[in-house]
Amino acid sequence: MKKSFCIAIVLTRFNDELCMELYENTLKQLKKLGVKKIDLYRVPGALELPFAVLKVAKKEKHDAIIALGLVMRGETKHFDLVCEQTYAGLMEINTDEDTPVIFGVLAVENKKQALDRIRANRMNKGAEFADAAVEMAQFNV
């Protein structure tokens, strides 16, 4: 396995405290897997992820890109719109571009679900996203 992968992470600021914990767990796993170069890009929220990921995919050379964020259900339909459009945009990039995109956007009902998925001693989705990025990066070798 190639150990010198270059991975980009595009991370949302919305729900920043939770997203930063998700990011830290992702970063820790990438380093554990031997990734030498990790570039971080920040965006305001999940709907901005497809635009930023596409720009990174077209302008920078990365072996994989991880789109990281968290969308928590509120009292309106906004949650569904954000989740559906973010997913559709990222999937389109994933199939149209040469760089694999890992969908690391958690869609949760509440903070407890978020913490269950983010925390390193629980589901640790950040580590799973890192594992997926390294596995998919091997297709760009």
pLDDT digits (tens, 9 = 90+) for 103-116: 999 999 999 999 99
Whether residue 57 lies inside any domain: the answer is yes
Residue 1 has pLDDT above 60, yes or no: no
Whether residue 2 lies inside any domain: the answer is no
Which residues pair with residue 4 across a beta bridge? none
**Would you please indicate which residues are annotated as catalytic (active-site) residues?**
78
Whether residue 3 lies inside any domain: the answer is no
Q: What is the pLDDT of residue 19?
A: 98
pLDDT digits (tens, 9 = 90+) for 48-93: 999 999 999 999 899 999 999 999 998 888 999 999 999 999 999 9
Q: What is the pLDDT of residue 41?
A: 98
CATH of the domain at 114: 3.40.50.960
Whether residue 1 lies inside any domain: the answer is no
Distance in angstroms (rounded) separating the CA atoms of residues 55 and 119? 30
User: Which residues lie closer than 8 Å to 102 by C-beta, 6 or more apart?
Assistant: 64, 65, 66, 67, 129, 132, 133, 136
Whether residue 111 lies inside any domain: the answer is yes
pLDDT, mean of residues 125-138 = 97
- Domain containing residue 91: 8-140
Domain total in the chain: 1
Query: Is 98 in contact with 56 (CB distance < 8 Å)?
Result: no
Whether residue 125 lies inside any domain: the answer is yes
Whether residue 18 lies inside any domain: the answer is yes
